[in-house]
Amino acid sequence: MSALPDPPGTDHDALVGTLLQLVRSEPTSTRASLTERSGMGRTIVTQRVNELIETGLLAETGRGKSTGGRAPREVRFRREAACVVGVEVGASSIDVALTDLAGRPLGCHEQSWDVARGPDATLDQIDVIIDRLRTAHQPRAVPLVGIGVGLPGPVEFATGTPVAPPIMPGWDGYPVRDHLAARHGVGVWVDNDVNVMALGELRAGTAVGVRDFLYVKVGTGIGAGLVSDGRLHRGTGGCAGDIGHIAVVGGAPQPCRCGKRGCLEALAGGAALARDALACAENGSSPYLSARLGDDRPALMASDVAAGARSGDHTCADLLKQAGEQIGRTLAGLINFFNPSLVVIGGGVALSGDLLLASIRHSVYALSLPLATRTLRVEMSALSSQAGMVGAAFTAIDELLAPRQLPGWTHRLCRDPLPQAATA
């Protein structure tokens, strides 16, 4: 098919990309609706849609409603035409999902893992998990076309390498992208774990349709992902949103894993809660924590504090409240500066109960400017523990569906019709 010349001053790839995103955003579309929504000419839209059908990314379905005359043919995004893998590596876990091109999980695997075991052991384990998921859940004849990865430390996105991560000994400069690409033969994109969580919420969670928001992970550490005007903001070097290492004014000068003192993470993160819980158990100020500590449990975790608060232990409740106040104070400054419409709170510690969220909200609304909080919502993550692996999958999907990338992989797409359950 000969391609129709694009209008002067336009970019062919940009036109294709615009139409692809419009179809992805609705269950079904018609060429007429795409013409109206895109502002392009009818002939150009028809030509470019036909190109996307030929690649296998779009498919014609039934006919839409007639407005007088022949009913228009509808087109849809063929999310079932390929698979991607999303991997979230946390400080103490590995979560992996095999998804379709719409980020919908076909199979998931979650397990405990210490990231300090190093890159070789961790990536070998990820390889094993990916192979198992593909064997169990990848539809026949549907190719794997990409892998997205989130790591718990600063990542140079352009090269897919960690840069001086505080809690990942042996990972500095390790070629994570190259390892996975060579092992699985597909494109790989690596980012900070909080960035991929923010992307997951933007594409499939609490922040769907929101243009400006913050995603805040409260886990072993604390970090934030920033979305501005609907796009993830990574910053020049890829470390935007590293709020865990903002110095807390008036806070105790607790040593932080980054080598500094008084960081938010060192005062209110999961590791800080575990440290303070141990102190309360040993000095007897928390009967609940003292009872949890024994010869077979020489340490406590943040989850013990959350469980104690739910059981009515006042010391545990105070620890969560103080952590929430510290986080809320820091967020208030960011909200005054960035003016988002939504703050999404996620991560293992944040998902352990409502007390921390209530304390964060109280500080945010008390300390932020009235105009900055007029329409502000502070909500829990809708994706919960799946935010990281779903967001990592979308990290790969968004890159794969960028027009500049399409020629390199769409020849591998499955073009055979799949069972209706796979396309519904």
Query: Of 156, 80, 96, whose CA–CA distance to 128 is shortest?
Result: 96
Q: What are the pLDDT digits (tens) for 377-402?
A: 999 999 988 999 999 999 999 999 99
Q: Locate tokens 């005062």: which residue?
A: 267
* pLDDT value at residue 68: 52
Instruction: Round to whole Å and give the CA distance between 308 and 317.
Output: 7
* pLDDT value at residue 210: 97
Instruction: Round to whole Å and give the CA distance between 190 and 148.
Output: 6
DSSP, res 238: S
- Where residue 69 falls among pLDDT bands split at 50, 70, 90? low
Integer angstrom CA distances of residue 161 from 128, 158, 180: 21, 8, 12
Alpha-carbon torsion, ordered 336, 348, 350, 231, to 10 deg: 30
* 3-state SS, residue 52: helix
* pLDDT value at residue 418: 60
- Where residue 166 falls among pLDDT bands split at 50, 70, 90? confident
Residue 5 has pLDDT above 80, yes or no: no
* 3-state SS, residue 325: helix
Instruction: Round to whole Å and give the CA distance between 216 and 223.
Output: 6
H or E, element range at 377: strand 377-380
Whether residue 215 contacts residue 203, with contact meaning beta carbons closer than 8 Å, is answered with: no
* pLDDT value at residue 371: 96
Instruction: Round to whole Å and give the CA distance between 174 and 257.
Output: 20
Q: Locate tokens 């409260």: which residue?
A: 218
Pairing status of strand 144-151 against strand 187-192: parallel
DSSP, res 155: E
DSSP, res 424: -
Question: Is 12-77 CATH 3.50.50.60?
Answer: no
Mean pLDDT of 81-98: 96
Whether residue 415 contacts residue 58, with contact meaning beta carbons closer than 8 Å, is answered with: no
Mean pLDDT of 207-236: 94
* pLDDT value at residue 421: 42
What's the CATH architecture for 82-201+386-423?
2-Layer Sandwich (3.30)
DSSP, res 31: H
Whether residue 167 contacts residue 150, with contact meaning beta carbons closer than 8 Å, is answered with: no
- Counting every residue written for the chain, the total comes to 424
Integer angstrom CA distances of residue 140 from 134, 185, 350, 394: 10, 18, 39, 22
* 3-state SS, residue 128: helix
Residue 423 has pLDDT above 60, yes or no: no
Mean pLDDT taken over the chain: 90
**227 DSSP β-pair partners:** 213, 232
Q: What are the pLDDT digits (tens) for 49-60?
A: 999 999 999 999
DSSP states along 260-308: -BSBHHHHHSHHHHHHHHHHHHHHTS-HHHHHH-BTTB----HHHHHHH
Q: How many CB atoms lie within 10 A of CB 16?
A: 20
* pLDDT value at residue 9: 43
Determine what percent of the chain is predicted with pLDDT higher than 90.
75
Whether residue 43 contacts residue 49, with contact meaning beta carbons closer than 8 Å, is answered with: no
DSSP, res 403: T
Tokens of 297: 């449990």
Lowest-confidence region among 162-171, 264-273, 346-355: 346-355
Mean pLDDT of 159-167: 91
**144 DSSP β-pair partners:** 83
Helix axis angle for 12-24 and 42-55, nearest 10°, is 80
- Where residue 298 falls among pLDDT bands split at 50, 70, 90? confident
Query: Of 142, 54, 65, whose CA–CA distance to 98 is shortest?
Result: 142
Residue 420 has pLDDT above 70, yes or no: no
Domain span(s) for CATH 3.30.420.40 in the chain: 82-201+386-423, 208-381
Query: Of 332, 305, 329, whose CA–CA distance to 319 is shortest?
Result: 305
Domain span(s) for CATH 1.10.10.10 in the chain: 12-77
Q: How many CB atoms lie within 10 A of CB 280?
A: 23
Integer angstrom CA distances of residue 121 from 111, 159, 171, 181, 258: 14, 21, 11, 17, 23
For the domain with range 208-381, which CATH number is right: 2.60.40.10, 3.30.70.20, 3.40.1260.10, 3.30.420.40? 3.30.420.40
Lowest-confidence region among 216-220, 262-266, 334-338, 418-422: 418-422
